[in-house]
Amino acid sequence: MEYFLELFFSGLTRGSIYALIALGYTMVYGIIELINFAHGEIYMIGAFVGLVVAGILTSFGFPAASIIVLASIAAIIYAAAYGYTIEKIAYRPLRGAPRLSPLISAIGMSIFLQNYVMLSQTSDFLSFPNLIPEFNFLGKYESMVGSSDFVIIVVAAVVMVALNLFIKFTRMGKAMRATAQNRKMAMLVGINVDQVISATFVIGSALAAVGGVLIASHIGQINFFIGFIAGIKAFTAAVLGGIGSVPGAMLGGLILGWTESFCTGYVSSDYEDVFAFALLVLILIFRPSGLLGKAPIQKV
């Protein structure tokens, strides 16, 4: 039972992170029907910015609590800026091009960003300081839910609730929903669609950066390649829940986290990544619209 609970919570932690990154995929797909292949790299860049800022602040002797806040804020700002720039350079000139073009452009962007970070930082793993201070709040259950697990789960939950409220009640959120439903109509009623798309990229990237800093601090090391696997897994989560649906991304993230955690715990840890990929292939074959998604209508 204890082992089960341990796996359950480690799955919950993983799942929360996947869900955070998956939201970026789902939001972008919902609005412009593009798989933003470079989204995993945004997450990676967020983690790197967090590392750099944390390193600089430590060398100036800032207190630990302020470092995590400032590093996260810097990571969010930078990831959002990168997301905005990528959209402007690689996707905006391709509006209205055949579907394959923006996808290839996105893959190119992803390769470019990976190598950009590899060449300017290093290809080795860099150790990431543990930014989340240890606090014992569970007594003897401490081994199951560490303090960083707890922080990750809580932060992810808060962020998701906030995002849902944002989409439901703010002006921009309403504009986003309208654009997702019908871009031309949204334009006709006076919504600045370019602005909405930019905002979507900015928000999605900011969420990925939160995930990046949290997971980097949890695992303790990063390198230029972490975005690739995390990106694919988050994409799996998005597809699992139904791409385009925000609650779907959260649900998908959690299911994927638990699947991985239980499969590695009870089956074999060698094939950790295979489980995620196999799940992805299975979903796409049997239910490509995902759990909460709607099957797309083909228009002639």
Strand 126-127 and strand 221-222: the pairing is antiparallel
Task: Please tell me whether residue 254 binds another protein under the rule CB under 8 A.
Answer: no
Q: Does 101 bind another protein (CB under 8 A)?
A: yes
Site membership for another protein, residue 45 (CB under 8 A): yes
Asked whether position 104 contacts another protein by CB under 8 A, the answer is yes
- Contact call for residue 267 and another protein (CB under 8 A): no
Region of 69 on the Ramachandran plot (φ > 0 left; ψ -120 to 50 alpha; else beta): alpha
* Sole residue written with tokens 């996707």: 91
Q: Does 281 bind another protein (CB under 8 A)?
A: yes
**Residue nearer to another protein on the CB measure, 147 or 289:** 289
- Residue from 1, 2, 59, 63 touching another protein (CB under 8 A): that is 59
Options 151-159, 170-178, 198-206, 281-289: segment touching another protein (CB under 8 A): 281-289
Query: Is 117 one of the binding residues for another protein (CB under 8 A)?
Result: yes
C-alpha 243: how far from its chain's center? 13
Residue 120 or residue 136: which is nearer to another protein going by CB?
Answer: 120
Q: How many residues does the chain have?
A: 300
Piece of the chain touching another protein by CB under 8 A; list 44-52, 133-141, 157-165, 250-258:
44-52
Residue 40 CA to residue 227 CA, distance in Å, equals: 4
Stretch that binds another protein, among 16-24, 51-59, 152-160, 186-194 (CB under 8 A): 51-59
235 is a contact residue toward another protein (CB under 8 A):
yes
Binding of another protein by 278 (CB under 8 A): yes
Q: Any contact of residue 171 with another protein (CB under 8 A)?
A: no
The residues facing 221 across adjacent strands are 127
The correct pick among 94, 144, 172, 291 for binding another protein (CB under 8 A) is 94
Distance of alpha carbon 184 from alpha carbon 230, whole angstroms? 34
**How far apart, in whole angstroms, are the C-alpha atoms of residue 250 and residue 208?**
13
Determine phi and psi for 271, rounding to 5 degrees.
-100, 30
> Least distance from C-beta 12 to another protein, angstroms?
24
Spatial separation of the C-alpha atoms in residues 41 and 134, rounded to whole Å = 29
How buried is residue 162: exposed, middle or buried, by Cβ count under 10 Å (0-12/13-18/19+)?
exposed
- Report the residue from 153, 191, 255, 280 that binds another protein according to the rule CB under 8 A: 280
Identify the H or E element spanning 257.
helix 246-266
Structural contact between residues 237 and 252, judged by C-beta atoms closer than 8 angstroms:
yes
User: Which of 111, 144, 178, 219 forms a contact with another protein (CB under 8 A)?
Assistant: 111
Using CB under 8 A as the binding rule, whether residue 178 contacts another protein is answered as: no
Phi, psi of 221 (to 5 degrees): -150, 150
| φ and ψ at residue 170, rounded to 5 degrees | -85, 165
By CB under 8 A, name the binding residues for another protein.
34-35, 45, 48-49, 51-56, 58-59, 74, 78, 81-82, 85, 89-90, 93-94, 97-105, 107-117, 119-122, 126-129, 228, 232, 235-236, 239, 270-271, 273-274, 277-278, 280-281, 284-285, 288, 296, 298, 300
